[in-house]
Chains A and B, each alone.
Chain A
Amino acid sequence: MIRTSIATVVLLSATQLFGATFPVLTASNRVVRELQIDPSGSVWIDNAFGSVDVIGGDGKLVSVTIDRTITAPDAASMKEAADNVVLSFEGDTKVRLIHTILPETHAGHWNAVVNYVVRIPRGVNVKIASKVAEHIRVSHVKGSVTVNGFAGTVIMDGVVGASAISLVNGRIIYDYLQRPVANARVQAVNADIDIYPPPNSNFDWIATTINGDILTTFPVRAPRFSGTLFRGQIGSGGPTINTETLMGRVLVQAKGTKSSSARSMRVYNSRHQPGPGDVLLQPPEKIQVPFVVGDFVSAASVADITIGEVRGNAHVEVGAGEVELEAVLGQCMVTLMGGPLRLGDIMGALFAHTGAGDILVRVARMGGQVTTDGGLLLVKAALGPMTLRSGGGDIVVQQTSAAIDAQTSSGDVTLTGDPSKKTLKVTARTLQGNIILNVSPRFKADIDATILTSNPDANEMHIDFNGISVSREKVGKKTRIHATGKINGGGERVELYAVDGDINISAKTITPIKVMSPKR
């Protein structure tokens, strides 16, 4: 019933490879086995490094041919590899597990590649696990197929049964020889997905990608997006083919058509109702230019934008990416769903937001609104009134010449007033952290500062000015420390509120930050 043949082929050579100064030994051997299997049984293949070919046919046995190739710098390493790279055949006629066993770590600098060719009865189910494979090809199989790989090219060729393919890096090619009749779920991270069904196919298509495009040569019925998830019907609909990749492209191309005739499903159509996250349907962009004459408008799913100077207004909307605008002569409106934002000299009104990441603004001449759902906010010079919000992270304004309203849910707020301003309106709140306000000794204000703390011994109010009265009261389990009063005769309202932190109003001689005159 089981035939085994083992042929050790060669101990090849000591080679000098293109200037390499060390010898390389290569040894290959082949293992051939035949195993019985039930017609509806399963074959599981676990091969970390090497290609796997599974071919369905009319036979009744599982026929396995395994080529093991070891490359090593010396005989000792070669022996270590030969002893440690082991083939295992387990299971019974219901489930056959064929496994390449590798040591978790090894001392020698050897390398082993094990290639499998497995012939199975057509109706058998197949499950393949791999790390790196030049290719994994499954062809002419009617049973279900599961492939889980890290890197390589996965090819499904004439697979009829249900399938689930997951791959991190590489490419997935799904070639249907007949109309799809079972569900297929194809998932990737950094891989393109190509599906080739016959032109008369009927199926429901789901697709999503962030960095790539969604293309097809089929006419699609009822195309619609829900966020980044696209749904459409090919023909009269049927089994679901789900194609998901993060950074790759999805192509569903009818056999006999040209890929150049494929249309993008991400392009807006007139029936599309714009919604949150629509920017993710835009193509990715990478822009690096020294200057833009006039307005700069950009919307991209994934972007890396660096511009020296925008000589007009800037309107940037990005899904994920990094944006750096060194100077904007007009208004500046930048929105990122996630990623850091660096803004230089912004002459007009500023509106900047990121869903996650730090925002650095060098000069906001007209002020504006800067918000992050989580991250640090740093404004070097605010010449106009600013609203700053962080969902969690410190807020620092190195010099403000106008009103500031800063709030963070967890983080320190550090604000420094322009020493030439006699009074400034300041509102600062942190729900966990400290507030530090640095002003000149001549600063005038009506102070209203509150600390709400569960540890009144640790959290303190330090105010370097006279004329402040401080009260303490219990509020539930917390203590409220409240300071009010006019400093230097009173001025604009300074309202500070810190939970479980200190408040420090420091009077000191501040060296003003010099802001260069705008170049027009």
Chain B
Amino acid sequence: MPDCDAMIENMPMLLTESLDPVQRELTHQHIETCPKCAREWAAYKETWQTLDTLPELEVPARVKQRFLAEIDPDLRTNVVPFRSGRAARWLAQAAAVVIVAGGAFYAGNRLAPRFRPTPTGVELIGAQTLPPATPYYSIAETRVLPAASINPQIEGRPDIQNVQFTDASASSDQIGVSFDITSHVTVTGRPTDKSMVSLLRYVLENEDRESPSRSRAIDWVRATYSRLDKPDPQIAEALANVLRNDQHQGVRINAADTLQSMQSAMTDSTRDALVEALKNDPNPAVRLKAVEALAKLARSGAVLDPEMVDTLQKKASQGDENVYVRVKAAEALRSIQPR
């Protein structure tokens, strides 16, 4: 297609949400109709997600100093630390909420339907049945809607937040109103559906840290996925990220406990999270759950890498470690066949 190159060029800016609204909409529309660009876009998103999972490294002071010394002194005053963390996460979350909620609102008003139930069985309750030809509902977009396509009867008092206005310009008499809109959406599907797994992973990793439902969400994941013979590794990886990053000790205990019941879904990264928790978590219950999970893994005959064995050995011998953690580490070591 003639537009493809231009659209592909737009993709990095689309990812960072720095494309202007018109171009953004055009690019989205193109992606939805062009299989080649859809593949390209999926690859971009996957790469972006992978980048997001990489650890943030502190720039060594020496390197930072040399870098600042090299740049223009005028610019130096403009150099400020780039802060990721909460604000960025909230933006991402807000974006996700917008597409989910906005989509439901949009569909509910029969406006330019842009999503449909996935063929894997996930469906949106509360959204109207959509024409089968419409593309998948994507969960990381913002969109621009012409006012004419909006039903003038706004029903259900949708929760509108973060409202911004764009004035008319000399060249155009168009004005704009931007907002985040939230409504309650239920996604149903089988626990093994890819879309459901991705959604749950997103929820586990991104849900508001202060949300009371966080521990409950992990309990629910355990109840649902520990029953499966082979739960999706994505769920285990999401729990591993919770175990690594959550400040809430009760949540970390829950995450480690749930991982214990999902042995068959464990990846190297998941195991590393358990080892890290066993080594460094200040809460003895988290270390206890981690060592229990590793002991169970060892009993199942899984091959533990040398770092895991070394960590277990150190824990078993560590005089100031909780005695139960030491005993469980010894139990794990007893089951290991070195290779």
Contacts and interface: CB of A to CB of B under 8 A. Distances in A.
* A and B associate in one complex: yes
B323 interface: yes
Interface string A404-440: 0000111110000000000000000000111010000
Contact of A433 (B250, B326, B333, B337): B250
B259 to A, nearest CB: 15
A320 B326 CA distance: 9
A372 B325 CA distance: 15
A374 B282 CA distance: 9
B338 A393 contact: no
Contacts of B250: 376, 392-394, 408, 410-412, 433
A210 B285 CA distance: 20
A78 to B, nearest CB: 19
B313 A168 contact: yes
A60 to B, nearest CB: 36
Contacts of A504: 212
Contacts of A409: 249
Interface in B249-291: 249-250, 253-254, 282-288
Contact of B285 (A150, A357, A433): A357
A190 B334 CA distance: 7
B324 A357 contact: yes
B324 A374 contact: no
B56 interface: no
B33 interface: no
Nearest to A435: B212
A375 B253 contact: yes
Contacts of B253: 358, 374-376, 392-394, 411
A233 interface: no
Contacts of B338: 48, 131-132, 150-151
A467 B316 CA distance: 56
Contact of B313 (A189, A373, A501): A189
B203 interface: no
B212 A356 contact: no
Contact of A190 (B210, B287, B322, B333): B333
Contact of B317 (A132, A189, A356, A392): A189
Contact of B208 (A394, A432, A458): A458
Contacts of A189: 313, 316-317, 330, 333
B151 interface: no
A246 B283 contact: no
Contacts of A319: 323
B273 to A, nearest CB: 18
A141 interface: no
Interface in A186-202: 187, 189-190
Interface stretch (A61-69, A217-225, A336-344, A483-491): A336-344
A449 to B, nearest CB: 15
Contact of A357 (B215, B248, B288, B330): B288
B34 interface: no
A364 interface: no
A247 B208 CA distance: 44
Interface in B314-339: 316-317, 322-327, 330, 333-334, 336-338
A123 interface: no
Nearest to B247: A432
A399 interface: no
With most chain B CB atoms within 10 A of its CB, the pick from A190, A391, A392, A504 is: A392
A337 B309 CA distance: 24
Given A408-B250, A459-B210, A337 B324 contact: yes
A168 B333 contact: yes
B39 to A, nearest CB: 33
A500 interface: yes
B285 to A, nearest CB: 4
A412 B2 CA distance: 56
Nearest to A187: B317
Interface in A387-402: 391-394
A356 B333 contact: no
B301 to A, nearest CB: 15
Nearest to A355: B322
Given A189-B313, A392-B249, A409-B249, A247 B324 contact: no
Contact of A338 (B283, B323, B334): B323
Contact of B283 (A374, A433, A455): A374
A169 interface: yes
A6 to B, nearest CB: 28
A204 interface: no
A394 B215 contact: yes
Contacts of A151: 338
Contacts of A165: none
Contacts of B324: 320-321, 336-339, 355-357
A165 to B, nearest CB: 14
A363 interface: no
A169 B333 contact: yes
B162 to A, nearest CB: 12
Given A169-B333, A189-B317, A247-B327, A432 B322 contact: no
Contacts of A403: none
A302 interface: yes
B323 A210 contact: yes
Contacts of B309: 150
A508 B287 CA distance: 37
A303 B324 CA distance: 10
Interface in A325-355: 336-339, 355
A408 B180 CA distance: 36
B94 to A, nearest CB: 13
Contact of A355 (B211, B247, B284, B334): B284
Given A210-B323, A246-B327, A432-B247, A375 B316 contact: no
B72 to A, nearest CB: 35
A458 B209 CA distance: 9
Contacts of A500: 210
A434 B288 CA distance: 24
A250 B326 CA distance: 18
A18 B333 CA distance: 31
A302 B247 CA distance: 32
Contacts of B333: 168-169, 189-190
A40 B5 CA distance: 74
B249 A374 contact: yes
Contact of B284 (A190, A302, A321, A373): A373
17 contacts: A187-B317, A189-B317, A189-B333, A211-B327, A246-B316, A337-B322, A355-B323, A356-B284, A356-B288, A356-B324, A375-B284, A376-B250, A391-B284, A412-B248, A412-B250, A432-B247, A459-B210
Interface of B: 208, 210-212, 215, 247-250, 253-254, 282-288, 309, 313, 316-317, 322-327, 330, 333-334, 336-338
Given A246-B326, A355-B324, A393-B249, 19 more contacts: A168-B316, A169-B334, A189-B313, A190-B330, A246-B330, A338-B327, A339-B288, A374-B288, A375-B253, A375-B285, A392-B282, A394-B254, A410-B250, A411-B248, A433-B250, A434-B210, A434-B211, A458-B210, A501-B210
Q: Which 6 A-B pairs have the closest CB atoms?
A: A338-B324, A411-B250, A356-B284, A392-B249, A394-B250, A410-B249
